[in-house]
A and B are shown apart, each in its own frame.
Chain A
Amino acid sequence: MESFFLLIGITLMYSTPLVFGALGGVISERSGVTNIGIEGMMVIGAIAGAAGSYFTGNPWVGFLAAGVAGALVALLHAVASVSFAADQTISGVAINMLAPGLALFACRSFFEGAAMSPIAPKLPKVLGESGLAGTPFVNLNVNVTTVLALIFAIIMWFVLYRTKWGLRVRAVGEHPAAADTLGINVYKVRYVCVLLSGMFAGFGGASVSIAIISQFTQTAISGQGFIAMAAVIFGKWTPFGAYGACLLFGFTQALVIILGGGDFVVPSQILSMLPYAMTIIVLVLFVGRSVAPKADGIPYIKGSR
């Protein structure tokens, strides 16, 4: 029973940063801007979160700083892909190159040349540091970021599907020219969505650096942004779909950890492939063809046909 709760606990812990990253991907791609740069924005969020928390002593300031920093990097992507009609894939790849360099450069400048930050105050757990201690449920006392991720997913679903603004976002992502004729400012909607995307990715970075661990390291973010991107497509560009994909991914990661601890015949390296192989299998068996928002990745140029 205890290992069952452990399984759930690890699943939620692993999936949280992915959920933030994936939500960022959903909002950006829904408005028609592909965002390959989630990974880079998460790295920036991780350093901003750790630095903000360390210098102010308040992890919440760090968390907000991470959102702002992520959005600032996203602004680059927005300027390129919305205003300059740049190739969004290339711009995203550039951000993935730029951001880790920037993060390490900042880290070394802040902390006397060190490639990792000092230990920073962490965000609290839902029930406090010692909540449920001694009970079998101890692993269910998840990080507060886990709950935040779920709340954000619900809010995003509500906004996208139940509000006027959400309808506009989806319209811009499907057929920007039609949206434009209805008086929707395509550029503005896309700017807002890309900035939000960076904010979420930044939160995702902070949910690693000041919740799961308590400092920025070079390997804090290593591939989560790409997994999150995959989750967006896996979840068919919907907040809940992406959330589910991240949970599945976190679950298989948790399985690897729990099975790897026991006497298991399969070598751990083969076991580690499980989450990735499983994702492919699930895609083939259950998800199938994914249809992106129609205008995803295509710059909108006013007046063009």
Chain B
Amino acid sequence: MSKLEKFLRSRFAAALFAVLVGFVISAVVLAVAGYDPIASFAALFNGSFGKPKYISNVIIKATPILLTGVSVAFAFKTGLFNIGAEGQYILGTTLATMVGVTLNLPMPFQLPLVLLAGIVGGAALGAFVGWLKAKFGIHEVITSIMCNWIAFYFCNFIVNTKTFHKPDSSSALPVNPSSYTTILGTWKKSEAGKEFLKGIPWLREILLKTDINAGFAVAILVAVIIGFVLTRTKLGYELRAVGFNRDAARFSGIPVERNIVLSMLIAGAISGLAGALTITGIAPHTISLLAAMESYGFNGMSVAFIAGCSPIGCIPASIMFSALIYGGMSVQQSLGAPSDIINIMIGTIVFCTALPGITPVLADLVHKKREERDDARTTKNGTPLPEKEA
């Protein structure tokens, strides 16, 4: 196989191709609607990577969708469709807020407990869906959708309770500062910190103008661990076996029902963690009344599919996704082109990743060309040439 052919057969090439088509289609839509595509893309790129502040925001916004993406990807690999990442995320934010407001312990105790609350919330919701599927055979898609709305109204209920409601606002009380994951949160606002940062403008911009927090590092760690568990451990093997062929898995002694519950529990826990990290990492560090679904779970589905459901692949996919969404806002500001073009672009990209093979077809073409060329040479010399590896 030549290098080109190998590249064309890789998943990366397929993703790259999908992104390319996404840009082309949205360029056409923009042009038809009378906007300059090149200028739009320039604004898009500038709006997501043009300033240290922007880059920082892209990373901050990539954190939750990286985790919901990993959640969806993990469930998908085990044969389950976790359309409920949205609800698990919401329940994660809600429980994290409840614990973070109620408790006020020193940071080493407070932070883990708040994160744990979010994880437990998401895991419980996920496990409930898994249990309904394992025990009663009810399709996880229905129950997940129902649970999304139940979590949605539960969040709004908590915001409105006397204990948690922040007076004269539409949100709950913020969690206690010992739960924050903001990087250098207190130092950067102190006199010494401000003085020090004056000398380093880019760092000052990132620290003082954005909510840069430790969440993304945690998210990357989770993605790596999940990737490892799926491909390198017995548990991962069993979970994937259940997803691949339930009957064969049962026949080989794998407890199918338990694994379905476990798989949804883990997927839910990851989404719940995403919610908790939003609360601990991003101001205003609390939940607000929801008017519509926040779409973190649904965006996670797109991230997972762009990444070909590889947990590690979710890392670049989430950054790209976040850059598109965040940079998309500046397309509207600077050119007046509707930022909805970004949704069209992302939709096109995901759509192309569903098509399993333009790039393999190209690879076949390359392969064929090579063979023809080799054939031609063979006949000329009379003896077959050894195949050259490039």
Contacts from A to B (Cβ < 8 Å): 76, 80, 84-91, 93-102, 104-105, 108-109, 113, 219, 222-223, 226-227, 229-230, 233-234, 267, 269-270, 272-273, 275-277, 279-280, 283-284, 287-290, 292
Contact = CB atoms under 8 A, between A and B. Distances in A.
B343 interface: yes
A290 B350 CA distance: 29
B210 interface: no
B149 A276 contact: yes
Given A86-B354, A222-B292, A222-B293, A109 B33 contact: yes
A257 to B, nearest CB: 14
Given A94-B350, A273-B150, A283-B143, A84 B356 contact: yes
Tell me the interface secondary structure of chain A in the complex: helix
Interface string B146-178: 110110011011001000000000000000000
A93 B146 contact: no
A229 B302 CA distance: 19
28 contacts: A76-B351, A84-B356, A85-B356, A86-B355, A87-B305, A87-B356, A90-B350, A90-B351, A93-B350, A94-B349, A97-B350, A98-B347, A98-B351, A101-B343, A102-B340, A102-B343, A105-B338, A105-B340, A219-B292, A222-B292, A229-B141, A233-B141, A269-B154, A270-B153, A275-B149, A280-B138, A283-B143, A289-B136
Contacts, number: 152
A226 B356 CA distance: 25
Interface string B314-341: 0000000000000000000000101011
Given A101-B344, A277-B150, A230 B350 contact: no
A292 B140 CA distance: 13
Contacts of A223: 145, 149, 293
A51 B132 CA distance: 42
A96 B298 contact: yes
A105 B347 CA distance: 13
Given A223-B293, A229-B145, A290 B139 contact: yes
A29 B350 CA distance: 21
A289 B137 contact: yes
B146 A105 contact: no
